[in-house]
Amino acid sequence: MLKLDNLEQLTIAIVFFLVVSAGYWKVFMKCGVAGYWGFVPFAREYHLGLCADCEEEGRNYTILTVISAIANGLNLLNPDNLLFRVLLLIAFFVLAIATVI
């Protein structure tokens, strides 16, 4: 199994963020939104909803993205506890369903 050290993981995460943000930037430029919003985490999901002319869905998508980021951060604090991971997953699905309804 391939093991990466922290610097390699950080480098991959930064490159991934930049590539995804560049894609958002191009989409925003085509629909008339300032392209720099593609590089602002969480705000870009809301602006993506604006591009699709679905502001409410954009807000819901932003809320789910924030909840997902918080769950991932909590998972990093305690990655070996399976019960903790299952409870996080259940909480995420409950909040996701509540946001959509």
Give me the pLDDT at residue 4, please: 65
Give me the pLDDT at residue 50, please: 85
Residue with tokens 């259940």, as numbered in its chain: 90
Kindly write down the DSSP assignment for every residue of 24-67, as one continuous string: HHHHHHHTTS-GGGGGSTTHHHHHHHHHTT-HHHHHHHHHHHHH
- Whether the predicted pLDDT of 46 surpasses 60: yes
What mean pLDDT is reported for the chain? 82
Please give the Cα distance from 6 to 24 (Å, whole number).
Answer: 27
Q: Could you give the C-alpha distances from 22 to 19, 59, 64, 70, 94, in angstroms and in order? A: 5, 21, 22, 24, 32
pLDDT confidence tier of residue 89, bands split at 50, 70 and 90: confident
Q: What is the mean pLDDT of residues 57-86?
A: 79
Q: What is the mean pLDDT of residues 10-19?
A: 90
Give me the pLDDT at residue 74, please: 76
Q: What is the mean pLDDT of residues 32-60?
A: 87
Hey, what amino acid is at 18? L
Is the pTM here over 0.75, yes or no? no
pLDDT confidence tier of residue 20, bands split at 50, 70 and 90: very high
- Whether the predicted pLDDT of 1 surpasses 60: no
